[in-house]
Amino acid sequence: MDPAKQTQLADLKARFDDLVLAVLGPLRLRKQVDAGAMNELKNVLDELRLLLGDEPYVPRKFTGELWFIFMAMLAEADHAKDPEPILREAWDVAERLQGIFGPR
């Protein structure tokens, strides 16, 4: 990966890390989706898809971090009175992750 892409990836990783807390906090505390944080997370995932779409691999540690948010959302939906909004967002995240990881 060229240095410009590496810099862009580092910036996106930092934004992603901040958004994980913003998304999972309300899910864990109130079982509610924060629409603003969720939209920003989706924007970051879309940017990652554009950046990593032609790369042969995604760093293993970052792969785990990306899939963690999806799995955590599914876990929180299991404990919600109304899981549908959480599940809808979780599966939207999964579709965006498939755009990053393939198949291509």
Give the pLDDT confidence of 15-63 residue by residue, as tens digits.
999 999 999 999 999 999 999 999 999 999 999 999 987 777 888 888 9
Q: Which structural domain, as residue segments, surrounds residue 21?
A: 3-101
How far, in Å, CA of 1 to CA of 82, rounded? 43
Helices (H), the chain: 3-30, 35-52, 60-78, 84-101
Task: Work out how many domains the chain is built from and give that number.
Answer: 1
pTM exceeds 0.85 for this model: yes
What proportion of the chain, given as a percentage, has pLDDT over 90?
77
